[in-house]
């Protein structure tokens, strides 16, 4: 094996010499210096690889896994969202974004050596079993998965439809680990669900942004219009777009969803720190599928990426009121570069995105117009957000300081949960107060919630 490794190094050096031999003489001094630095760093990498393979206590080291680990480490050193994706991971990723795959129904990522739940997908086995965003999976069927790669951990979660798997979960608000039994199933990810609230408000829930999200929203609106017309003879008078705990997904789908409701202007602009004035702008086309009816968008700390693009577009255009808590704060865009057959792909952060007003939400998130305040919630840390991730990118708008929140909404102390309609109760039977706040805003009623305006007028300087 050592001999073959040296042969690989020799071949690599030979190929590099053939490719660069004639070009070096014509390169500018600056380029020559960069080429020299690259050559020196590659020599260092090969030396470290050789020493590790020759001296590590394990003699069955996989050269492929060692190099894969190095590639992942290099990509991760750029920012939290860049990554080298091996061939199997790339295949799984393409399956997830298509909207149909097998497993438990949770979106996961790596947080150090731990597998962290980004969000359970609505109406999947994991969702019904009680897995929550922010949970850490430490064991699968009693065996530790700490230190495994994401691909290895996901493999263990998958299995035949109808088979049982037990996840050991560490949850921040629980003293002891939780063991959750889940029956595997075929996951058909339906990112859009809808229903009527009362006779006049259409409710649309977006759980993720995959290839079916944009068309799904259009279909949901038509379904709500039909239901309302059959019942009242009129279309819904208002709409609620719920993107709480939506971790994002495909950029193009977020643009399509925004375009459904915005008649004109910039939806989102892509660029680097120097290009943020409508550089790479995506513009709305004429038309609004709900005909300008009032809208409220619900967000929280689990609303990230594509969901923040939609919320930012609807907020900056004045199309909707944003209600909830500060969103996650991921203001960057990743591009997938396939590397060829069985080589995987490189996911790299290529651009920042900017809202219609030119703001970047990187590390800041979307600030709601009406902030939800749960006065009965336990105080303490509210969970990780983009700004808490190691190596996160800086916000290119360093001087950005805009006050957007003009009111707060909180549960009424005397709210009677027993008399609330089932459409505003969560699956646990508890009142969904942010949803109640949205309904109160649209109906101009405060039966179960209290909305208070804030005085954001700057105080005069002394």
What CATH code would you report for 100-188? Answer: 2.30.42.10
What percentage of the chain has pLDDT greater than the value 90? 49
Identify the pLDDT of residue 17: 36
Identify the pLDDT of residue 172: 83
The one catalytic residue among 330, 332, 347, 410: 330
Give the 3-state secondary structure of residue 301: coil
The one catalytic residue among 194, 305, 307, 360: 305
Please name the residues in contact with 298: beta carbons below 8 A apart, sequence gap of 6 or more. 240, 241, 242, 243, 244, 323, 324, 434, 435, 438
Instruction: For the chain, give every domain's residue range.
Output: 2-61, 100-188, 192-453
Question: What integer best gives the mean pLDDT of the chain?
Answer: 83
The one catalytic residue among 242, 259, 316, 359: 316
Confidence label for 237 from pLDDT (cuts 50, 70 and 90): very high
What is the helix (H) or strand (E) element at residue 202, kind and residue range? strand 201-206
What CATH code would you report for 192-453? Answer: 3.90.226.10
Cα gap 385→133, rounded to integer Å: 12
Please choose, from the candidates 129, 97, 135, 132, the residue with its C-alpha nearest in 3D space to the C-alpha of residue 114. Answer: 135
Half-sphere exposure of 420 (CA within 13 A, CB side): 23
Residue 13 has pLDDT above 50, yes or no: no
Residue 400 has pLDDT above 80, yes or no: no
Confidence label for 105 from pLDDT (cuts 50, 70 and 90): confident
More confident position, 153 or 15: 153
Residue 268 β-bridge partners: 282
* 316 noted as active-site residue: yes
Q: What is the pLDDT of residues 161-175, one digit of tens each?
A: 889 999 999 998 888
Residue 293 has pLDDT above 60, yes or no: yes
* 330 noted as active-site residue: yes
Identify the pLDDT of residue 29: 64
Residue 273 has pLDDT above 50, yes or no: yes
Residue 18 has pLDDT above 50, yes or no: no
More confident position, 92 or 156: 156
Q: What is the pLDDT of residues 193-204, one digit of tens each?
A: 999 998 999 999
Residue 10 has pLDDT above 60, yes or no: no
CA angle 8, 9, 12 (to 5 degrees): 85
Q: Which stretches does DSSP call E strand in 393-433? A: 407-411
Residue 312 has pLDDT above 70, yes or no: yes
Identify the pLDDT of residue 5: 46
Identify the pLDDT of residue 102: 65
Q: What is the DSSP code (8-state) at residue 297?
A: E
């Amino acid at each position: 094996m050592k001999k073959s490794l040296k042969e690989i190094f020799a071949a690599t050096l030979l190929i590099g010499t053939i490719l660069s031999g004639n070009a070096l003489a014509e390169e500018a001094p600056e380029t020559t210096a960069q080429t020299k630095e690259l050559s020196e760093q590659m020599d260092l990498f090969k030396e470290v690889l050789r020493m590790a393979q020759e001296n590590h206590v394990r003699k069955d080291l996989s050269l492929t896994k060692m190099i894969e680990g190095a590639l992942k480490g290099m990509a991760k050193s750029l920012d939290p969202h860049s990554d080298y994706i091996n061939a199997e991971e790339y295949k799984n990723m393409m399956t997830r974004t298509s909207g149909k795959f097998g497993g438990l129904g949770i979106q996961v990522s790596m947080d150090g050596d731990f597998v962290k739940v980004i969000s359970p997908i609505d109406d999947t086995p994991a969702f019904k079993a009680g897995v929550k965003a922010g949970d850490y999976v430490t064991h699968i069927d009693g065996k530790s998965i700490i230190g495994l790669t994401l691909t290895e951990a996901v493999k263990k979660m998958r299995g035949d439809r109808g088979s049982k798997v037990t996840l050991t979960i560490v949850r921040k608000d629980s003293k002891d680990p939780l063991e959750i039994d889940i029956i595997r199933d075929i996951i058909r990810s339906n990112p859009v669900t809808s229903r009527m609230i009362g006779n006049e408000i259409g409710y649309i829930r977006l759980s993720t942004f995959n290839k079916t999200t944009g068309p799904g929203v259009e279909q949901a609106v038509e379904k709500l219009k039909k239901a309302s017309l059959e019942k009242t003879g009129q279309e819904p008078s208002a709409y609620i777009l719920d993107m709480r705990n939506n971790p994002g997904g495909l950029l193009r789908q977020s643009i399509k969803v925004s375009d459904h409701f915005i008649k004109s202007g910039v939806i989102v602009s892509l660029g680097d720190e120097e290009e943020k004035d409508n550089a790479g702008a995506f513009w709305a086309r004429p038309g609004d599928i709900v005909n300008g009816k009032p809208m409220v968008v619900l967000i929280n700390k689990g609303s990230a990426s594509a969901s923040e693009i939609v919320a930012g577009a609807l907020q900056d255009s004045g199309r909707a009121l944003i209600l909830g808590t500060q969103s996650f704060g991921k203001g960057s865009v990743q591009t997938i570069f396939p590397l060829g057959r069985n080589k995987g792909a490189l996911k790299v952060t290529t651009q920042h995105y900017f809202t219609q007003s030119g703001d970047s939400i990187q590390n800041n998130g979307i600030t709601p117009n009406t902030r939800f305040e749960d006065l009965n919630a336990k105080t303490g840390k509210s969970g990780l957000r983009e700004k808490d991730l190691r190596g996160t990118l800086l916000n290119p708008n360093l001087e950005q300081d805009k006050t957007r929140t003009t009111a707060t909404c909180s549960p009424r102390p005397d709210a009677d949960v027993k008399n609330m309609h089932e459409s505003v109760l969560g699956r646990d039977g508890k009142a969904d107060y942010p949803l109640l706040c949205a309904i109160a805003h649209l109906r101009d009623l405060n039966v179960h919630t209290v909305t208070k305006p804030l005085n954001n007028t700057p105080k005069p300087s002394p």
